[in-house]
Amino acid sequence: MKDHLKPLKVFVVGSKFSNFSILFVLLILDLLLLLDIIGLFSVNMTKINIFICTADEDVKIADIFRETFSDCYGLKVFLYKHSNVGSQDYYQKIITGLNNCEIFVPLLSKNLVNSHFSNQEIGYAVNKKVKQEIIIFPISLDGQKSFDLIDHIQPTDCKPKEEYGVLKTATYFFRLIICHKDFVKFKERAISGLIYVLNSCRGWKSISSIVFLLESTVNDLNLSRKQIKQIVSAAKSNAEIKKLDQLYDRLKQFLNDRYKISID
């Protein structure tokens, strides 16, 4: 009787081992699927560091630039008021911001010309530019031309009092990052930041800016398969995009015309 039970015992043990193996394989498959999903949504989030140099009188406009660069285009922006000069860590924060910055954006105005602290920041940035460590991109708020150490750099004009004036200038700036040869080293990070924002953005301003950029830079994007999948995923999963019918339709049209991808 005992001899007859032995094979049964082996069979039971074998069944347990088989069940365990199946569970183990299923767990591995689940893990691989999870990693694939994470990979789909993950982007290179080493954000491009922007330093906005502004006079205190123009700080409200500067803050709109900061918000637009960050919320619409996924850039990391340093903006610090000179009125904080009395604080213990003021100089350290400014130096850290300048050391970390990759694109220096002075907001030119008559106020900036007379700002002692801003001119010191410009001098520091010019020294970094000589070492080819940063790009300087002046933006003129009131027609003020580039002056002193940066008088050889043509500024981009902005009309901040016009509706969407700052948004238009910020969009032009970001298009240059994607399209212009001087910014080529930033291109992949810029596109990654754009897609990251598309996945999480809220409101008409951010979504419309991104859709416009995708449409207007389509020949310069050269999106990878992964990036295309991320845009498709954002279009499907971000409920805020679907609420804005016209923008959602434009995004679907962009994917269909360029990549033959249809989104239901």
| Domain membership flag for residue 37 | no
68 lies in some domain: yes
Number of domains in the chain: 1
Q: What percent of the chain has pLDDT over 70?
A: 82
Is 23 within the bounds of a domain? no
pLDDT higher than 80, residue 3:
no
CATH number of the CATH domain containing 102: 3.40.50.10140
Sign for the pseudo-dihedral over CA of 213, 218, 224, 228: positive
pLDDT at 181 over 80: yes
Residues for the chain: how many in total?
264
Q: Is residue 202 part of a domain?
A: yes
- Distance (Å) of CA 193 to CA 14, 188, 200: 52, 9, 11
pLDDT of residue 87: 73
Ranking 9-23, 139-153, 213-227 by mean pLDDT, the lowest is 9-23
Closest CA to 99 of 73, 121, 114: 121
Tokens of 59: 């700080």
Are residues 159 and 165 in contact, defined by beta-carbon separation less than 8 angstroms? yes
pLDDT score, position 88: 74
Whether 5 has a pLDDT exceeding 60, the answer reads no
Residue 32 predicted with pLDDT over 90: no
Which amino acid, residue 16? K
Q: What is the C-alpha radius of gyration for the chain, rounded to an integer number of angstroms?
A: 26
Give the model confidence (pLDDT) of 192-236 as tens digits: 999 999 988 888 889 999 999 999 998 888 899 999 999 999 999
Band of pLDDT at residue 4, cut at 50, 70 and 90? very low
Mean residue pLDDT of the chain comes to 85
> In sequence order, what are the residues at sequence separation of 6 or more whose Cβ sits closer than 8 angstroms to the Cβ of residue 128?
98, 101, 104, 134
CA distance 112 to 106: 9
Q: Kindly state the average pLDDT of the residues 152-158.
A: 97
Residue 31 has pLDDT above 50, yes or no: yes
**pLDDT tens digits along 49-83:** 999 999 999 999 999 999 999 999 999 999 988 87
For the chain, give the percent of residues with pLDDT over 90: 69
Assess whether pLDDT exceeds 70 at residue 44.
no
User: What is the C-alpha to C-alpha distance for residues 103 and 133, in angstroms, rounded to an integer?
Assistant: 9
Which residues span the domain enclosing 123?
49-259
Alpha carbon 152 to its chain's center: 29
Residue 104 lies in a domain: yes
Given a cut of 80, whether residue 18 has pLDDT beyond it is no
Euclidean distance between the first and the last CA atom of the chain, given in angstroms as a whole number: 66
**Is residue 172 very low, low, confident or very high in pLDDT (cuts 50, 70, 90)?**
very high
Tell me the mean pLDDT in the region 152-176: 96
- Residue 157 to residue 107: CA distance in whole angstroms: 10
- Residue 17 in any domain: the answer is no
